[in-house]
Structures are given as structure tokens and as C-alpha cells.
Structure 1
Amino acid sequence: MQRQGSIGGSAAIRVRVTGGVLLVAHLALVAWLTLRPLDVPWVMPANLHPFATIRDDLALGGPEAARRLGEGLALLAPLGVLLPMAHGRLCASPVGSLIRTVAAGTLVSVGIALLQTGVPGRVVDVDTLLLNTVGVALAHLAFVPACRARLRRRAERRRRSAVPQGDPVQGRTPTIPRVGIAPWSDALPPSSP
């Protein structure tokens, strides 16, 4: 049974499978990048104060600040597109889709932060959680609504072209007009007094 509002037929399966495969590949890459032990002589303390690292990065100025902030935004940003793609729905509420995707991205980021507490050389940084979540939201807003609208238009064109228009030799197929229901008085046998 097809879910209401989902992509139809084999296209739905291809989109979901592609989204799922890319999602697993991206999460594997993120795990490799963030959960490898680092061989460093000393480790900074964990940052549990929101915006402290972001302020420090902005104080660096120029390309170094842009690189650091860009890395935080880009790490989980593909989840903003891959999660809805793996879900495979065309007619989803834009706000609901954004909330679900951002919540899932936040949970992934929190999970990575919790796992990093046991990895040598890695520390928890609350600003990384914020940047990762904003990156997921920005990627979702930038791509998902436009892609869904495009896929809906394509599905509608396919649906219209698949509707039979009748045989050109015989003309259109005749239709039977709807017949109304007779009043109860006509359907019941006459009553005897």
C-alpha cells in the first residue's frame, strides 16, 4: 500500500533507496571524521558555554573564521536533504518536514558529541552542536522545498499524459449520467388502510 503523498511506483523506491544509501555513506564519513582519536599533546577543556567558540572564531577574522564556521555548518548539512529523500514524501508539510529533519540532525549531533567524550583527543563543544543544527536547517530550506515542487510538477505531468483521451477513430468513450435515488414513497409498496 502506498503512503498518501509519497512518490509513486518505482521512482519512489529508487529515491528512497538512493537516499538511504547516501545517508548511510554520509553518516559513515561523519563518524570517521569525528570519532577518530587525535594524537595531540594537550586537549582544550570542553566548551559548554553557547557561542563562546563562535565568538573566538569570529575574533580570528577573515578566511580562518569563515573556514572554521563553514566546517561546523557543513558537517551535517547533507542530512537536511538526505533525511527527507530517504523518507520519500512529496506532499509533506514544509514546517513539519523541517522540524523532523532538524530534530533528527540535532539528535545525530548530540550522539556524536556523547560518543566523542570517550575518544582520546576529542572534546565536547556546544557550539559545534549549534552549527551542525543550523547547517541541517539551512540545507533543508535551500533544497527540499524546491526539489519537492519540481518532483510534484513532473508527477502531475506524467499523470496527465497517462490519462486516456479516447480512441481517435471512435471518439470519446460515452459516459452514463448519474441517476438519482427514487423517493422512498416510489420504492415502497402501497400500504393498505
Structure 2
Amino acid sequence: MQRHGSGDSATFRLRATGLVFLVVHLLTVGWLTLRPLSVPWVPAANLRPLATVRAELAQGPWEAAHGLVPALLLLAPLGVLLPMVTGRLAGSWLSSLAHTVFTGAMVSLGIELLQTDVPGRTLDVDSVLLNTAGVGITYLLLAPPLRGLIRRREHGARPSHLPREEGPQGPTPTMSRVGIAP
């Protein structure tokens, strides 16, 4: 029989919370990106990587930040929400990073392909690149601290260099600085 402790409950709550936030975020992104726009003209589709980025940078730093930062931030929360939902925060960080960035790229590509049928929206390969970069940057910034937090909660406030001993009745107490009897 498998024993379910408080760690399983905390993991379930973390994953459930992540799933709720993920659904809310994806619905918001869908609403923001798949609404028809009423514009006087529509630019041609951009299939050349970094062409939009170069054009934005040529306009100056403020205009570049105004044009590029929203694309970086659009899917950035996926960098934390995807590992939370899939439970990959506790696993290998490189595998988790690759899985998260790939999934973010596929979500971004799907949004861009869906936008081709929306009036006023066009395909831009740079949006896929910037959205994916935002997912990766967010993962690199926030996943390691969250991973450490999860590991501390799973293993208690015990320092990582001390072994954790489990008996049939729970953890075995340890005493530090026990001297030799006279």
C-alpha cells in the first residue's frame, strides 16, 4: 500500500493552482491575440527571422522596448506555469527547460498560425522567437528558486547535507553536539 503524506497534498495543491493559473493565462492570451483588429492597413507577413527585431531596434531604444517587450512578456508566465502543472520542477532542470521552451514555442506557433485567419492580424516569425525567448528567460529566472522552495518543503527545514532517516513511525530524531560521557 502506498503511503500518502503531506508532501503529496502540497504537490497536488501546487499543480492544481498552476493549472488554474495556466488556463486563465491562456484564455487571456487567446482573447488578446485572436481578436479581430480594425486597422486601416495590415502589414505583410514576416517570414524572415529577426527582421521585425532589426526594424524595431533601428527606430531607437524606447520604440524598440515598446515594440519588443510585450512580445517577450506575452507567454513568459508559461516558463513557470508549465513546469508547475507537469511536475517538472522537481526533476532535471535541463530536461525541464527543454520541455518548457519547446512547449512555449509550440503554443506561440499555434497562436501565430491561428492569427492568419483573424482580420487585422498577420503571421510574424519574430513573435514566435520573442515569445519563446520570454518563456525561456522566465524559466531560468524563476524555476531554480521555486525548485529550491519545493525541495525545502518536501524535506522539511533540514539542512541538505544531513541524511534524512525514516523509520516505521516517521523520521528518526537526531541530536547534534552530543559529547562523550565521563
State how far apart, in whole Å, the 2-side matches of 1:156 and 1:15 are: 16
Q: Give the Cα separation in 2 of the matches to 1:135 and 1:113.
A: 16
Corresponding residue for 2:179? none
TM-score w.r.t. the length of structure 2 is 0.83
Identity of aligned residues (%): 56
In structure 2, stretches of 5+ residues that fail to align are 159-163, 175-182
Which aligned runs of 4 or more in structure 1 are off by greater than 3 angstroms?
158-162
- What secondary structure is seen at the aligned counterpart in 2 of 1:95? helix
Mapped partners of 1:122, 1:82: distance in 2? 27
* Higher-Rg member (1/2): 1
Could you tell me which residue of structure 2 aligns to residue 150 of structure 1?
149
Aligned counterparts of 1:118 and 1:16: Cα–Cα separation in 2: 34
Q: Which residue of 1 aligns with 2:72?
A: 73
2:88 matched to 1:104?
no
Change (3 A) 1:59 1:115: same
Partners of 2:157 and 2:57 in 1: CA distance: 50
Aligned to 1:23: 22
In the TM superposition, residue 89 of structure 1 has moved relative to its aligned partner by 4.0
Query: Which residue of the partner structure matches residue 171 of structure 2?
Result: 163
Aligned to 2:12: 13
CA change 1:66–1:152 in 2 (3 A) is: same
8 Å CA contact 1:90, 1:152 repeated in 2: no
Question: Does 2:125 correspond to 1:126?
Answer: yes
Structure 1: distance between partners of 2:105 and 2:89: 23
TM-score, with length taken from structure 1? 0.78
Contact 1:80 1:138 in 2 (8 A): yes
Q: Is the 8 A contact 2:89 2:96 kept in 1?
A: no
Deviation at 1:104, TM superposition (A): 0.4
User: Structure 1 89/124 Cα, relative in aligned 2: closer, same or farther at 3 Å?
Assistant: closer
The alignment partner of 1:114 has SS state of: helix
Q: What count of residue pairs does the alignment treat as equivalent?
A: 162
> Residues 32-53 of structure 1, C-alpha deviation per residue, up to 9 Å, x if partnerless?
1100000111110000011110
- Per the alignment, residue 185 of structure 1 pairs with none
1:158 CA displacement: 5.8
Q: What CA distance in whole angstroms lies between the structure 2 residues aligned with 1:164 and 1:9?
A: 20
Distance, in Å, in 1 between the alignment partners of 2:90 and 2:105 is 24
Q: How far apart, in 2, do the equivalents of 1:164 and 1:89 lie?
A: 29
Classify the secondary structure of the residue corresponding to 2:138: helix
Shift of 1:68: 1.2
Deviation by residue 1:93-146 (Cα, 9 ceiling, x = unmatched): 111000000010000001001100100000000000000000000000000012
User: CA deviation digits over 1:58-111, x for unaligned, max 9?
Assistant: 011122211211111000000000000111244311110000000100000010
